[in-house]
Structure 1
Amino acid sequence: MLKKIKVEDLVLGMYFCGFEAAWLDHPFWKNKFLLKNDSELRQARASGIAYCWIDTERGLDVAQEEEAADSAAQLQETQPSALEPEHAAAPPIDAVLLDAMALRETAKKATKAMFSEARMGKVLDMERCVSVVEEIAGSVIKSPNGALSVLRLKLADEYTYLHSVAVCALMVALGRTLGLDETACREAGLGGFLHDVGKAFIPHELLNKPGKLSDEEFSQIKKHPELGYKYLSQDPNVPDYARDVCLHHHEKIDGNGYPEGLRAGAITLYSRMAAICDVYDALTSDRPYKRAWDPAEAISAMASWTGHFDRAMFLAFVKTLGIYPVGSIVKLESGRSGFVIRQNAQDLTRPVLKVFHYDDSMTVTDTEILDLLANPEADTIVARGGEEWARLSHLDAMQLLSTGVPT
């Protein structure tokens, strides 16, 4: 049974089930585990959080301290893995993440419906699309880090649908950094939401082919902007700017994009924004033919592509997400690794991290929250995740799993 107690009353042998605070604000990586060493107690008491939750059926109650040694030994045998999500009743969770997760599912269903309607030749339900974009925009404005980090988490077979949702959110966030007004941010978001609707007319097996595409297959894929534009143009309720984003989100500043090979100033503002947001989400998502890139690696690679993006706009995008975007894994001078959980706008090279050690069995230990800006002497980032990303990227989901929210 879950029981709320004061943090100061925690003792060894209790089964900890979370602080009465958002996961990102407390020092533990996992949210449910048996308290069995003094360092965990010290971390909990040093957190500054007043209350926490324990499970009295899996560990000691407040009145059972004298039985700690025996009970802890018995319970240790049944302790779950540090990285294994549990499905027991959870304590109160971060409302921002919960709202973002619920929105993700709602938006995914709406996007599936949109693609289904397109395949059947039905007119787009613009009222539903605008409603979804309004919700996404509201979530991004309320908590950019929370919304964008949740929308990044997608399985390979969800990509087609959640990619549209993620690009919509990124467009809104970028629009805010560029200083666009609320109306313009929502227009950009709608363009992002509809940008890939042309893929509804591309065979599913081609979109999800696990191997390299042939030249003929790639030529077929490249038709999706024009197919989408043609579909959207049948409906007078679809704004011109949304059709333009659909047609031109693969154009490049140097004129080497498609379908029309437009250059620089000939590409509209929203389409230049979409070119950046589309590529970033594609790079950082699992696909049938590739693993997701570390977000920081994606930013670094995109920065090196000459002639691809509007340079000033790309720098605004970096400012929006950070040099080390939320979800990036970095290596620290101390030998620890760090999972980026928040940005510091004053210095994008010094984000807020959840730092940790891990062993060969991928057991995570010694976790704490570290604000590199507030504590510049505590540690320093020396490299992006690199090869570690393949081993550690699954920990990205811990942000949600530890709160009991399904991914």
Structure 2
Amino acid sequence: MIKCIDVSDLKVGMFVHDLNCDWASHPFFRKSFLLKQDSEIAKIVEAGIHEVYIDTQKGLDVRHARTEQEVKDTLQQEMLEIASKEPSPIIQVSFADEMGRAARIKTQAQTLVKTVMQDARLGKAVELEQVDPMIESITESVLRNGGALTTLLRIKNKDDYTFLHSVSVGTLMIAFCRSVGMDREAIRQAGLGGLLHDTGKALVPDEILNKPGRLTDEEFDIIRRHPGDGHAILLKTPGIGEIPLDITLHHHERVDGSGYPHKLPGEQITTMAKMAAIVDVYDAITADRCYHKGMSATDGLRKLYEWSKYHFDPKLVQAFMRCVGIYPVGTLVLLESGKLGVVVEQNEGNLLQPTVKTFFSTRSGVYQTPELVNLAKPLGFGGGDKIVSHEDPAKWKVNPLRFL
């Protein structure tokens, strides 16, 4: 049985099933292993990890601990309550109408970040006059329909991951800041910070950056230099604002003081940096990498919510969930009718009732002609169904994005 326990309950002889933190936050080669020494427990604590999941069939048990399913059920219920309190962002054009423009912006932004990284590696300053127009294009796309570009950016290949991750963080920061009502200039600065937040990785050797496995302690230390290196590079950029500098330097800080490079406590971390930390981790844990399979967007949000007890600002995590939706566009869901479908559009009135494109009946085991179902509408008016759960695409051997 898988159980969630506090690190204070860890003992030698327990089998760690999952370290319960984002992959970039710990120095272990594996996330699952048998605890053989007290020094391993000390290393877990030192890494700023507060809770872990253990496998009681492979090691010692903690009787009073909650099961993994109990934790999931509680978190899911709380998330649904949060999502039902506020409407989703206004959509100006349909997802389908924005897809073409979003695809072009994704390609252009990826090329731009690649150029910025190459210039930084050569010691050149970032040219803001090249970056600003791209921020404007991303912002306009998000204003038209935030789901289009953010959904496309979930598709990354290992060779271009670093560049597309930066585009994703920039785009999500723009959407996040817009959803909490920031002014246009603050949104622009936040997008700029997101797009440039990993500029320091230009100085990390490719064999470390793209290593298909866990990093050694020495390699982990090199990776941890990138916020400071990126900050130093941006300081050479004429006209750079305080917000991009802050996001670049502090996007790996955590509110419990366990982050880097300065181990700042929560009250010393700005709101923008706290928002960037949430966005950065969300995009990282939902992306496929050569050394781990990305979570679904809904599972990623649940993990962020779980970790907000210690690592992130809980109110900001809740605001981010409302920004992207509990069931973001592209999520595979199972409906009460037994049909499988893909979320294709958020509904402004209720994040729990998106528009879904159904294509398969789990009851008859038969593929059906794709049909749009607006869950916000009653039966007989193109609706009348309800989401029971989100589903793992691998389980059903389907790529949800092909239905968008």
Tell me the alpha carbon deviations over residues 202-252 of structure 1, each in whole angstroms, 9 at most, x when there is no partner.
111211111222222222211111111111122343222211110100111
Paired residue for 1:346, among 327, 344, 349? 349
Q: Structure 1 counterpart of 2:341, which letter? A: G
Paired residue for 2:378, among 375, 385, 397? 375
Number of the residue aligned with 2:266? 264
Number of the residue aligned with 1:7? none
Number of the residue aligned with 1:159? 161
Q: Is the 8 A contact 1:351 1:371 kept in 2?
A: yes
The Cα RMSD (Å) is 2.1
Number of the residue aligned with 1:213? 215
Distance in 2, Cα, partners of 1:277 & 1:355:
29
Q: Structure 2 counterpart of 1:181, which letter? A: D
- By how many angstroms is 1:340 displaced? 1.1
* Residue 183 of structure 2 is aligned to residue 178 of structure 1: no
Distance in 2, Cα, partners of 1:268 & 1:243:
12
- By how many angstroms is 1:288 displaced? 1.4
| Equivalent residue runs for 1:125-136 within 5 Å | 125-136=127-138
Structure 1 vs Structure 2: percent identity of aligned residues?
38
Q: Structure 2 counterpart of 1:279, which letter? A: V
Secondary structure of 2:211's aligned partner: coil
Q: Is the 8 A contact 1:123 1:235 kept in 2?
A: yes
Q: Is the 8 A contact 1:156 1:285 kept in 2?
A: no
Q: Is the 8 A contact 1:294 1:389 kept in 2?
A: no
Structure 1 residues 351 and 233 mapped into 2: Cα distance closer, same or farther (>3 Å)?
same
Structure 1 residues not aligned, in runs of 5+ = 1-92, 400-407
Distance in 2, Cα, partners of 1:390 & 1:328:
14
* Residue 285 of structure 2 is aligned to residue 283 of structure 1: yes
Tell me the alpha carbon deviations over residues 4-35 of structure 1, each in whole angstroms, 9 at most, x when there is no partner.
xxxxxxxxxxxxxxxxxxxxxxxxxxxxxxxx
- By how many angstroms is 1:336 displaced? 2.0
Paired residue for 2:400, among 389, 395, 398? 395
Secondary structure of 2:357's aligned partner: strand
Distance in 1, Cα, partners of 2:336 & 2:158:
34
Distance in 2, Cα, partners of 1:392 & 1:174:
32
Q: Please say which of residues 94-103 and 174-183 is displaced more in the overlay.
A: 94-103
Secondary structure of 1:280's aligned partner: helix
Q: Structure 2 counterpart of 1:383, which letter? A: S
Q: Which runs of 4+ in 1 moved over 4 A?
A: 389-393
- By how many angstroms is 1:95 displaced? 4.1
- By how many angstroms is 1:365 displaced? 2.9
- By how many angstroms is 1:333 displaced? 2.5
Q: Is the 8 A contact 1:153 1:397 kept in 2?
A: no
Structure 2 residues not aligned, in runs of 5+ = 1-94
Distance in 2, Cα, partners of 1:390 & 1:125:
46
Number of the residue aligned with 1:248? 250
Q: Structure 2 counterpart of 1:343, which letter? A: Q
Structure 1 residues 173 and 392 mapped into 2: Cα distance closer, same or farther (>3 Å)?
farther
Q: Structure 2 counterpart of 1:325, which letter? A: P
Tell me the alpha carbon deviations over residues 349-387 of structure 1, each in whole angstroms, 9 at most, x when there is no partner.
22111112179xx9943421111111377322222214x
* Residue 316 of structure 2 is aligned to residue 316 of structure 1: no
| Equivalent residue runs for 1:138-157 within 5 Å | 138-157=140-159
Structure 1 residues 118 and 143 mapped into 2: Cα distance closer, same or farther (>3 Å)?
same
Distance in 2, Cα, partners of 1:218 & 1:355:
44
Distance in 1, Cα, partners of 2:129 & 2:397:
41
Distance in 2, Cα, partners of 1:259 & 1:389:
37
Q: Structure 2 counterpart of 1:367, which letter? A: P
Number of the residue aligned with 2:19? none
Distance in 1, Cα, partners of 2:395 & 2:223:
28
Distance in 1, Cα, partners of 2:395 & 2:245:
37
- By how many angstroms is 1:134 displaced? 1.2
Paired residue for 2:294, among 286, 292, 295? 292
Tell me the alpha carbon deviations over residues 113-163 of structure 1, each in whole angstroms, 9 at most, x when there is no partner.
000000011121111111211111111112212222222222222211111
Distance in 2, Cα, partners of 1:292 & 1:349:
23
Q: Is the 8 A contact 1:356 1:367 kept in 2?
A: yes
Q: Structure 1 counterpart of 2:311, which letter? A: H
Q: Structure 2 counterpart of 1:395, which letter? A: P
* Residue 338 of structure 2 is aligned to residue 335 of structure 1: yes
Distance in 1, Cα, partners of 2:248 & 2:328:
26
Tell me the alpha carbon deviations over residues 46-81 of structure 1, each in whole angstroms, 9 at most, x when there is no partner.
xxxxxxxxxxxxxxxxxxxxxxxxxxxxxxxxxxxx
Distance in 2, Cα, partners of 1:217 & 1:329:
37
Structure-2-length-normalised TM-score: 0.71
Number of the residue aligned with 1:114? 116
- By how many angstroms is 1:289 displaced? 1.1
* Residue 110 of structure 2 is aligned to residue 104 of structure 1: no
- By how many angstroms is 1:392 displaced? 4.4
Q: Please say which of residues 226-235 and 246-255 is displaced more in the overlay.
A: 226-235
Larger radius of gyration: 1
Aligned length: 304
